[in-house]
Amino acid sequence: MAPAPPDKLSVLIGRAQQHDEEALAALLDAYSERLLGSVRAELGERLRQRLESQDVMQQVYLDALGSIEQFVDRGPDSFFAWLRRIAVNRICDFDRKAFQTTKRGGEVRAGDLQGGNTMGPLLDALGGTVSTPSEVVGRAERARLLQQSLDQLTEDQREVIQLRYLRQLNVAETAAKMDRTERAVRSLCVRALIRLRELLGDAV
């Protein structure tokens, strides 16, 4: 999907900043192919062997969900530049974690960078990690609320979240399981994550 004309783009951005999930999903979908190309180029050969571009994309989308209100529209290409800046920051984080893991003698995988089992990777993606005892209790409660929220998704949305985050399949594997194109899976996953964030509210 090509980016919307400048006037429509501004309208979509304004709606997205007012928590319109359809507008935000449309924005992210419009830039997905261009952003994916940029992410692949930024990863470089070393990280590309260890980390799926699609995993970076999902983290970028989640970061965008949490900070869309801070975006300042400076022209037609500023939204892509903003997404790309988020991607570069994420790749730098992944690169640092990969380097630290390698120094300790371990092999890093995309799943290692998101951490945890069962609900862990999805909770981490939606709301970050926790460490103190009181936060662990809060995490258990968030996991319960997350399960309730998953039940409110459409069947397709629930399936894509289960495959991508609970079973930790990559986009290609998920597309094969769901008999969809990779682009369709990315778009569906974005919409599912946006819906989850809306349902969970301050719980993440």
Helices 182-200 and 133-150: crossing angle in degrees, nearest 10, is 120
Interval 59-107: pLDDT, tens: 888 888 888 888 988 887 899 999 999 998 888 887 776 555 444 444 4
Q: How many CA atoms lie within 13 A of 137 on its CB side?
A: 2
Which pLDDT score is estimated for 112?
39
Phi, psi torsion values for 77, nearest 5 degrees: -100, 5
Which backbone phi and psi does 71 adopt, to 5 degrees?
Answer: -70, 135
Summarize pLDDT for 104-145 with one digit per residue, the tens. Answer: 444 434 443 343 345 666 766 665 433 444 444 466 777 788
**Is the confidence at residue 162, as pLDDT, over 70?**
yes
Higher pLDDT, 183 or 50: 183
CATH architecture of 115-204: Orthogonal Bundle (1.10)
pLDDT of 179 > 80? The answer is: yes
- The segment(s) of the chain belonging to CATH 1.10.10.10 are 115-204
Is pLDDT larger for residue 120 or for residue 57?
57
More confident residue, 188 or 76: 188
Once rounded to an integer, what is the mean pLDDT over residues 188-202? 82
- Tokens in use for 104? 């300790």
CATH second-level architecture of 1-108?
Answer: Orthogonal Bundle (1.10)
Task: Write down the pLDDT at residue 4.
Answer: 59
SS3 18: coil
95, amino acid identity? D
Structure-model confidence comparison of residues 45 and 110, the more confident one: 45
Where is pLDDT greater, at 134 or 58?
58
For the segment 170-182, the average pLDDT, to the nearest whole number, is 90
The pLDDT of residue 82: 93
Which residues belong to CATH 1.10.1740.10 in the chain? 1-108
CA angle 55, 95, 195 (to 5 degrees): 30
H or E stretch at 41: helix 32-48
Question: What's residue 74's pLDDT?
Answer: 85
**Residue (of 13, 23, 59) closest to 164 by Cα position:** 59
Percent of the chain with pLDDT over 70: 74
Q: Token pair for residue 14?
A: 């304004």
Does the pLDDT value for residue 43 go beyond 70?
Answer: yes
**Nearest CA-CA partner of 24 in 69, 73, 72:** 69
Higher pLDDT, 61 or 202: 61
Kind plus residue range of the DSSP H or E element containing 91: helix 78-103
In the chain, % of residues over pLDDT 90: 13
